[in-house]
Structure 1
Amino acid sequence: MSRKVILDVDTGTDDAVAIMFAALHPDLDLIGVTTVNGNVPLENTTDNTLRVLDWIGRSDVPVFAGLARPIARLDFPFDKHFERDSGNDPHGSALPIPEPRSTRQDTGAVEFLVETLRSATEPITLVPVGPLSNIATVLAIDPALTDAVDEIVIMGGGHAVTNVTASAEFNIWADPEAANMVFSAGFRRLTLVPLDATYQALVTRDTCARLEKSATPAGIGAARFISRRIDAYDGTVTTAGAAPVHDVVCTAYLVRPEVITTRRLHVTVDTTSPLTVGRTVMDTRLGSTQEPNADVAFGADPRLLADLLLDVFTSVIVRTEIT
């Protein structure tokens, strides 16, 4: 039986690859996608999500727009991470595929999540790969909804590797109060995939060329999205000709857990210090007495990830008009 999954995304390029993987893998049942403010403003994350699902022939997957701002902070700076639509922007405002034909649902993301989890007759896996604003709001409405979730798989944070500040990764930094609520919510299983792991699973131009050659919508789309990421990184923080595709590591993990290696740790989020706000504080001390609340990935297998992308994105029969 396929695993029921809800993705919570702030769709730029890496989210797009994760959406395609979850929507096309036969072992995953993507029952909905919720959007949140993050890589780009909410209007763009929602538009991009619809574009991706239309592009691969999965317009049947409903899309729900969520929170347009963090749950507590009023000063979220969109340009903090990079100059929008510049050469070092790995996302761009709009993905390089046609505008969507479908539209978002009238129901909001939080309402959809609450209603779906309350009525669930079998466990659901949550995969938030953007700021955790939607998930925290759901927990504020009904903390018991964690019982309907068999696992929450989060892309975010960093221990030895960060990006938006010297201490913090973007997704957690963008709404640290929300992230702290999620880590302390008591999910039966919480898997965290931080930059420490995703930077070990770089995708290369060679893999992009093989994806492009497949001529499937997913293969062409993935090649475009990942190539933009490689162009943006351009060997500055990674090996030349390769880039991390952070979010798809989470969806790949759902079907091949061995794509990452984890440690069981206690994780909290700093919400107060000017220097370290948004830092995921991972207790790696030997003999720590803090109760672990997360399986944290510190390693990832780039070859297995590439094989999974090629297997899923180049074997899809359904084709659309490519422009």
Structure 2
Amino acid sequence: MPFRFILDCDTGSDDAIAILAATAHPDLDLVAITTVNGNVSLDHVTDNTLRALDHVGARVPVYAGADRPLKRPDFPIPRAILNADSDFQAESIDFPKPVSTIEATGAIDFLVETYMDDSSADVTLVATGPLTNLALALAAEPRLAERIPRLVIMGGAHGNGNVTAAAEFNFWVDPEAAEAVLAAGVREVVIVPLDATHSAPLTLADCDVFDAIGTPAATGTARLLRHRIATDRAAQAVSIHGSQASPRAASPVHDPMCVAFLLRPDLFTECVEAFVTVETAGERTLGELLVDTRPWCPHPPNATVALRASVEVYRDFLRAAFVSGAEAYVPS
């Protein structure tokens, strides 16, 4: 039976790649998508989600969620100021405008209703954006903590952050939500921080492989990945020849790694079980993921934190998804 999961996301380019891979892979069943304010505003997040689904002709229900952080009126630094000198996250991904529409039910109500239903006892929740939706759902129904079988989170950094020296974007955007979720007692939590995602970047050579596969999911991924490599400040371009980047030029692609892990638990080559919290008050450390690995930590572990990943396994997962999709794809 395909592995069932819900994706809670803030669709920019890497969430879109996660959607393309999830809908292409025959061993995955994307039950639903819930959207949250994050990479771009909620209306653009939801629009981008529908664009990605329509691009591959996937019929997955989409539920719109929170349009602002849990307790704050806006990001610690408003998005317009934060992204003023960068086009890394465009408001709209480069796919046609969607024709499909969202569901009438909101994301928080959907999450509560779904996980309070015994038929969803096997449905993993994968959260690749700020954790606002889940924090609101847990506040509305605290029993969700024992009803969600497994929660896989893209967020945090054990080493350096990407918005600040301490904090990764998702946790920085809504640190109160992240702390509330991690303190809620969900029975199995896996955190995929920047340490893991930056250890297995994808390259322009991978884009060529995806283009050769030729399906909408594969070529769409190549298009999104090329934009990430071209605009990512952290992209590690080994060499530049004129205006042509080396095939080894690379960028981390964070969110699909959480989806890959569902089928390939061997993806993570180094993990630690630890008590984790999120800083909500620090002037310089707001949103920092604190991973307490002290042998004398007074609290039991509440999460598994991935520290390194295998780029070979990651590539294998994506290629398997897109090749499988190719077998069922009939060009129009």
TM-score bin (small chain): over 0.9
What amino acid maps onto 1:13 in structure 2? S
The aligned runs of 1:252-291 (5 Å cut-off) are 252-260=260-268, 261-291=270-300
Residues 22-61 of structure 1 correspond to what in structure 2 (within 5 A)? Answer: 22-58=22-58, 60-61=59-60
In the other structure, the counterpart of 1:300 is 309
Distance 1:320 1:153, change over 3 A: farther
> Which residue number in structure 2 is paired with residue 216 of structure 1?
215
**2:255 aligned with 1:244:** no
Q: Give unpaired runs (5+ residues) of structure 2.
A: 239-248
Aligned to 1:152: 151
Deviations 1:143-190 (A, max 9, x none): 111222111000000011210011100000100000001001111100
Structure 1's 80 and 254: CA in aligned 2 closer, same or farther, altered over 3 A?
A: farther
Structure 1: where are the runs of 5+ without partners?
A: none
Partner of 1:180: 179
RMSD, matched Cα:
1.5
Paired residue secondary structure (2:116): helix
C-alpha distance in 1, partners of 2:109/2:18?
Answer: 23
**Deviation string for 1:199-243 (max 9, x for gaps)?**
001001000011012210001110011111100126x45344100
Per-residue deviation, 1:80: 5.0
Deviation at 1:64, TM superposition (A): 0.6
- Runs (4 or more) in structure 1 with deviation over 6 Å come to none
Cα distance in 1 between the residues matched to 2:167 and 2:67: 21
TM-score (norm 1): 0.94
- CA contact under 8 A between 1:217 and 1:319: conserved in structure 2? no
Give 1:42's aligned amino acid. L
* Deviation, structure 1 residue 320: 6.1
Compare 115-124 and 293-302 and name the one that shifted more. Answer: 115-124
Cα distance between partner residues in 1 of 2:205 and 2:81: 31
Partner Cα separation in structure 2 for residue 228 and residue 135 of structure 1? 30
Listed one character per residue, the Cα deviations across residues 4-35 of structure 1 (whole Å, up to 9, x for unaligned) are 20000100000011112222222221110000
8 Å contact from structure 2 (residues 156, 192) kept in 1: yes
Secondary structure of 2:79 counterpart: coil
Number of aligned residues: 316
SS in 2 for 1:315: helix
Aligned to 1:132: 131
Contact 1:146 1:188 in 2 (8 A): yes
- Once residues 230 and 120 of structure 1 are traced to their aligned partners in structure 2, the CA distance between those partners, rounded to angstroms, is 43
1:15 aligns with 2:15: yes
Residue identity (%) = 45
- Aligned residue for 2:236, secondary structure, equals coil
State whether residues 26 and 324 of structure 2, in contact with CA within 8 Å, keep that contact through their aligned partners in structure 1: no
Higher mean C-alpha displacement, 156-165 vs 236-245: 236-245
Whole-Å Cα distance in 2 between the matches of residues 232 and 286 of structure 1? 41
Partners of 1:134 and 1:105 in 2: CA distance? 16
CA distance in 1, matches of 2:284, 2:300: 26
Assess if the C-alpha contact under 8 Å between 1:34 and 1:65 holds in 2: yes
Structure 2 length as normaliser, TM-score? 0.91
- Give the conservation status (yes or no) of the 8 Å contact 1:56–1:320: no
**1:217/1:320 contact within 8 Å kept:** no
Counterpart code for 2:95: I
Is 1:318 aligned to residue 319 of structure 2? no
